[in-house]
Every structure is written in C-alpha cells, then in structure tokens.
Structure 1
Amino acid sequence: MISIKTVLRKKKLLTGKYPIFLRITMNRKSIFFRTPYTAFENEWDANQGMFTVKANNHLHKNRLLFKFMDRATSVITELEQEKGYYTLEEVEGALRLETNPNSKLLYPFWEEIIAEQRLAGRTGNARVHAEVLTSVKRFRNGKELTFFQITPEFLEKYEVWLRSRGGTGGGIGVKMRCIRALFNTAIRRGLVKDNLYPFRVYKVSKHKSNGVKRAISIEDIHKIAGFDLSEHPTLIDYRNYFVFSFFTRGMNFADMMTLEWNDIVDDKIYYVRSKTKSKFQIKILPPAQKIIDFYRAQNRGTKYVFPILLQDKMTFSHLENRKRKMLKRYNNRLKEIGEVCEITKPLSSYVARHSYANCLKQKGIATDIISESLGHQNLAITQAYLKELDNTLVDEAMEVLL
C-alpha cells in the first residue's frame, strides 16, 4: 500500500516558517520531496495536508500542492502499468527525474554521450556528435535546449538554417540521424517519454546524399596494383592502402589505420569495424598478403600494420587529428594515382569499397553474400547500396533493343 500526502516538516527556518514536503510512504518507509512553499504552524492544516485560510493566497497554493500530488500519482500509475511491481526507490528515481528540470537539458546529456563514445573507442561517432552539438548550439545562439523543445517544427527550422548555410541533403541527414540517435538513447534511459519522439512526424529518410557512389572495374584495380610507381615513390603507400582495402572486403581507412599485427593470425584477419562494431574474419588473398609482407619487412617497431599511426599510445584527440589529416592526404594522393595510372573515374578512399561490392555484383555473387561480406545490418541496405553503383550490366542488357 502506498500513500501520498503533503506535510509540514518540523525544522524551523530562519524566517520562523516550516518547509512543506511531499511525503510518499510505502511499506512503512517514506521518501520526501521539498515543495517551493513554507508556512507558519497556524497556516497549515496537518490533517488535510493543505494551507488554511490564514495563509496568503491559500487557494492558489493548495491548487499547486494538489498538482504536485497528481504528478506523483501519475508517476506511480505509470510504474504500476509498466512493471506491475515497483520499489520505493524506483518511485523516488522516477519522480526526481520527472520533477528535476536539469534532467531534461539536452547539452549536458549530449556531452555525456560523447564522453561515453570516446571511452568506448568509437572516435568517429564521438567526433560527429561533437560537431553536430556545436552546430545546434550555433543555431540556438548558445541558448540552453531541452528535449521538450526538440519538436518537428524545431527540426524543420534547423534544416532551413542548415540549408541557408550551404548544407546538402547528405550532410543534413547525418546531423538529423545524430539527433535521432541521441533522442532514442534518452528514451531508452528513461530521460524522456516516448510520446515526445519528434521523428514520427519529421522523417530523416527524406535527406538523400548528393554524392554519387563510384566504382571502377576489376581490370582497373589490377592495373593500379601492378603499376610501376618507382618514379612516384610518395604514392606507393597510398596505392597499397587502396588495393588492400579492395581485397579485404572494402576495409575503410579508419580500420586500416588501427589494424594491428596481432589482428593477423595465419591466413586470416580478425577485426571489429569501427563504424558498425561488426566483427570480421577475412581470408587474406595473395594481393593483400603481398602488401602485409611489404610492411612486415620494414620492422618499424609499432603494433600497427600500416605507417599511418607512428606510435602506439595516442590520446583520443591525437587519433582523431591524425586520421583526419591522413585521410585528406590519402584522397589527394589517390587523385594523383588515378592520373598516373590513367584511370578515368576519380578515385577516393571509398571507391575501393564500392568497387569491391560492384565487382562481386558483376560476377553474379548473390546480394545476401555481398551484404554479409560488407557487414551490412540488413539486406535492404545492400540493395540500396548496389543500386547506386555501376549499371554496366543494365547498359549491356539494353543493347538487345538495338
């Protein structure tokens, strides 16, 4: 049995009045929540738990006290409906969360999530969240923000603001997905109610990337792998990264950067993809083995396979700075490699991954196998992925019309 009542606590304040608390009792144990009100003893009816006529604005104050009790009753009812059984400690936690305005502030929670991601080694996610948080603060001119204010209208205005500053569909989509992920985490942790979720109305899926996925042929891959770069020694490492990525199921740059010698066992590579946390076990094909042997012979003394991270112990910020710097350099060098090897399509770090998927598609490999090899979470992602790639097979099929 649980009871709720407003009471006058017998601890006199300097004003001579006593503080008024909301008392919740269950199994002969009580918890207390302080209200904004105080009263002299003759202003308080202990039996009724309310102000007497001797108190100023007693009707207004009593109405607000009843609201406190209604809120507590609602919290208890929700616990009863959700769990059936609950403890006094759960009532206290739920009510404090419900009544504490600071628990609904967006920025402190967001910063907490970023810190958790950094601690878990999810440096890419942490960086994106930090960038989006900065963007939202600029949109708000630094004003505080609560979860209650994240409405479909707020998201639409934020979208307009981003577009006015040159934002593209893909970039805006990244930011909206970031906010959606934050909101989902807040709901899972009981910080906000599910009925506040704004993404039932505001659809993130409408934001499509403006970039076109590009892939090159297997012949071009072999051309790049076998091209004599003796006159261009500064391009050798970057050619190796590109070829290695292709022959390891499109391993992305962040994962190549942190690939360790301990991840290579016999003829297999074992690693966890930083973006999705999917576990991979990849058979080492001869072109990838040749590259591994090339770097093993250098015996640089670090735990990393590639000369991207030059020391073992690096802080989060150093890792992020190094990745951004080297990824930019990698993409610039790939453009040079494309020119030297006379590849007509522009090369980038993701062309290796796109080409891997597209080459399997053109070889007739089933989509579900391609999906598993890429580490996609479901087949629909792979189908959409392949749909944006090279349409050579479709073009050839159309020639029957001639």
Structure 2
Amino acid sequence: MATVSLDCRSRTDQDGLAAVRLRVEHQGTQKFINTGVKVKPGKWRKGKVTRGHREADRINSRLREVESAAQDALTKLRASAVPITVERLKARVQDELDGDEAPAEQPDFISWSLERVQKVYDNQGTRRNHRSSLKKFERFLGEQYSRADIGFRELNASLLEEMMAWESTELGNANSTVHKTMRTLRRMCNLAIRDGHMQQSEYPFQHITLSRSRTQKQPLTDGEVEALEERRKAMDQGLVSYPRRDTTAAHALRSWLVQMYLLGMRWGDVCSLEWDNLRDGRVQYQMLKTGTAKSVKLVPKARAIIEVYADRQGEKRFVFPFLDYRTEDLSTDEGIRQATQRVNASVNQKLRKIAERVGITSTLTTHIARHTAANRMASAGWELRKISAALGHQSVSTTEQYLRSLKDDELDEDHADLF
C-alpha cells in the first residue's frame, strides 16, 4: 500500500540538527523528499515539532502543507488508471510541492513516439516496423490503461517486463520478435532523453537486459527444391491427395516456387502480384517493404506456374487468389501490406504440412524461399553485391546473414580436407 509521511533523520549535522524528510513508501520500497526543515531530534515527536521549539507553530504549519500536498498527489495517483510505483509516486509528490502552477502538459509516450518515428527515419520499411511495435505496445496496454495514461515517467522497467511476458505468453512471439519490439521502445526512450522529455535517471532499460537469439533459417537443398517441384507437378495433374489443385495449400506451394524462381521475391510482393506487373517478359513492381521499383526477368519455370492462373487475367486484379476476399482497403499500400501479413500465417502452416509430405525436415516458410534463392546465387558464383541487389537488400551485411549456412558448409568441406 502506498503511503506518505514525515520523517526526521537520526543522523545530525555539525550543529546537531537533523533533516526532516517526506517519506514515500510503496510495497516495502522507500524514497525521500527533503522538506528543507532541520530540527534537533529531541524536538521531534510523532510527525511534528514539539511545543518546546520556539518556532514550532511556523514549522508545523509548513510541514502540514507539505503533508497535505503529498496526500493530494497520492489521491490523484490512486484515482488514475496508472499503476502505482514508488518512483511514480515520488515524482507526482514532487510536482505537487514544486508550486501552485500545474506542470506543463506532456505528450503521452506512444503518441509522441509515433510522431517521432516519422521524423527520424526516412526508410519506409523502418518506419513501418517501429509503428508496428508501438501499436503492439498500445494493444498490450489495452483496457487496463489508456494511451494518455502512459507518459514518459510511467514507462518503467516493471511495465516493460510485463509487456515482454505478455508478448511471449499471450501472443506466442519468439524471443527474437520480443527483442525487436523492445528495441523500438528502447530507441524511443533514448530519443526522449535526447529531446528532454525523459531524465537519464528515469531511463527504464538500465534495469532490463535484452537477450537476442538469432534464428538460423535453413535454406532448402537442391534435392528438397526438386521434391517440391515434383509435388507441384503431381498436384497440377491431380495425382496427389495433398495438396489439391485449387486449395490454399496448392496456391502456397506454387507461390513459394515463384518466390524462389524470381530471385527470392518477398512474400508480400508475390502475394499481391498483379497482372499489370507482368510486362515484356518481366515482372515489374514496387517492393512493398521499401517502396523501391524492381524489375525481374520472368524465367520459364515461374511463367509455367503463373500460367495456371491464366483464366483470372482480365477478371481479377491479382495473379494469386490470396487477396480475393480480404476486407482490408486494397487500394492503399498499407491495406495490401496488412492483408498479406495476415494471410502469411495460414500459408506458412500449409507449407509446413507440404514439407512433411515430401520429407523435408527443416522448417519451411515463405521467407525460406529468399534464403534458398540467395544460396543458389552464391553457389553459382554470383558476387555478394549482385546477390544483395537481386534480393533488394539495402545493406550487404543483411545479405551476408542470408549466406551464413553456405559459409558454414564451405568450412566443413575445407575442414574435412585439412586433416
């Protein structure tokens, strides 16, 4: 339970006087605020100066004002939806004691951060990723708090730890995903300190250690890709029970192969591929993630798969039917982005089942198509710069991460020949 009370220190200065402090306490933790009053310990009893002190009336009157202001701050904090912490209580009491004027209106953390993201990042994809993390944080706050309840002082280590636990248990997010969300919040806190909205002493991440475990994405071998291609052919001929020709699983398998054949095209771009993007034997489109224009040759294997959907041309906007019945606003990039992200989970589920049917033991997802394409390029002797350009990476270091498993395989081969 949170309490505020007056306290006289036992330790005295060289004049034999002890400081009278306001004690702020919650759940066994104490903080103190100096009242500016000093008295001899013998003149202090039961929260006030004894009558034997010559200025007892004046000092006690001042201390009652301090105690009253502190109780007002505690009452206001209890009435709000913000969880009480000893740090937050001390800050509210200090604000109450600093003067009659209300402190300047401070923006809430989420609103400020969403606006700040637009100013500090030029890259569209980076902006979107940060906004997504902030929206997730707002979703966590949910009914318990409103966006306006969480200012810069309210963002503490306890709240962030609750957020991480919620994201892990309620959403089932992997450690790397939780880490990504926390990196956004940490970045916003650092900017808030730089902009003067948060004090360094209030920085919540000084009490939080973020552990990041990278998930090694295993590209498919040539044999595994061939197994998927054979499954696709058998499916199109109606020779297998799973997947059937016109099911989501069938579309998932075909789109995965198209992703790989088109130099690791991103899932969102394949899912939202339009007939208008197919021109002069090429696939010409604007990447959803970065907004960058891209042009890729429509190689025969990809063309053969797309021709399966030829009866849709002229009637449907998209090559694949994933977005046919989506309710998002598909007239905007943001609406398309949201729709493709929501479809992705279902497609990955189908891909895992297909992988089991053909004997692929590694995890098969839409993103693995990019890793598989990258390894194919590297194995064929492509320079790192070309692979990076083909994948649409803005940093060569990202491409190097894609090729990590290939480097390990090469080391294994050299190691075997070494001894």
TM-score band by shorter chain is 0.5 to 0.7
Picking from 260, 270, 277, the partner of 2:284 is 270
The alignment yields a C-alpha RMSD, in angstroms, of 4.3
- State the partner residue of 1:15: none
Q: CA deviation at 1:330?
A: 0.9
Is the 1:334–1:347 contact (alpha carbons within 8 Å) kept by the matching residues of 2? yes
Aligned pairs, number: 298
- Structure 1 position 270, deviation (Å): 2.2
Larger deviation, residues 309-318 vs 127-136? 309-318
Question: Could you tell me which amino acid in structure 1 is paired with residue 402 of structure 2?
Answer: Y
CA displacement 1:276-305 (0-9 Å, x = unmatched): 333322122211111222223333612212
Residue 129 of structure 1: aligned partner: 134
Match of 1:355 in 2: 372
Q: Which residue of 2 aligns with 1:107?
A: 110
TM-score, reference length from structure 2: 0.58
* Paired residue type of 1:131: K
Identical-pair percentage:
20
How far apart are 1:241 and its partner, in Å?
0.8
**Partner SS for 1:280:** strand
> What is aligned with 1:19?
none
Give the CA deviation at 1:312.
Answer: 9.1
Q: Deviations over 1:83-126 (max 9, x none)?
A: xxxxxxxxxxxxxxxx9944532233356679999xx8987765
Moved more, 120-129 or 266-275: 120-129
Q: Do residues 289 (structure 1) and 306 (structure 2) align? A: no
Question: What is residue 305 of structure 1 aligned with on the other side?
Answer: 319
Q: CA deviation at 1:384?
A: 2.9
For the residue of structure 1 that corresponds to 2:149, the secondary structure is coil
Counterpart residue number, 1:222: 226
d(CA) in 2 for partners of 1:123, 1:300: 32
User: Offset at 1:323?
Assistant: 3.3
Change (3 A) 1:198 1:366: farther
2:343 maps to 326
Which residue does the alignment assign to 2:151? 146
Distance 2:140 2:281 in 1: 45
Measure the CA separation in 2 of the matches of 1:144 and 1:109.
Answer: 13
Deviations along 1:128-186, one digit per CA (max 9) or x if unpaired, are 43113323668978772334666xxx468624752585575312221123325656887
Consecutive unaligned residues of structure 1, counting only runs of 5 or more, are 1-98
Query: What aligned pairs does 1:1-400 form with structure 2 within 5 A after superposition?
Result: 101-110=104-113, 126-135=131-140, 144-147=149-152, 154=156, 158-159=160-161, 162-163=164-165, 166=169, 168-180=174-186, 182=188, 207-227=211-231, 228-229=234-235, 230=238, 231=240, 232-233=243-244, 234=247, 235-299=249-313, 301-310=315-324, 314-315=328-329, 322-387=339-404, 391-400=408-417
Unaligned runs of 5+ in 2: 1-101
More displaced 10-residue stretch of structure 1: 138-147 or 330-339: 138-147
Does structure 2 conserve the Cα–Cα contact (< 8 Å) formed by 1:106 and 1:147? yes
- Counterpart of 1:172, as a letter, is V
Amino acid at match of 1:327: N
The answer on whether the counterparts of 1:139 and 1:158 sit within 8 Å (CA) in structure 2 is no
Work out the CA distance in 1 between the residues paired with 2:116 and 2:324. 29
Instruction: Please tell me the residue identity of whatever aligns with 1:377.
Output: Q
Distance of aligned partners of 1:282 and 1:313 in 2 relative to their CA distance in 1, 3 Å threshold: farther
SS of corresponding position for 2:312 = coil
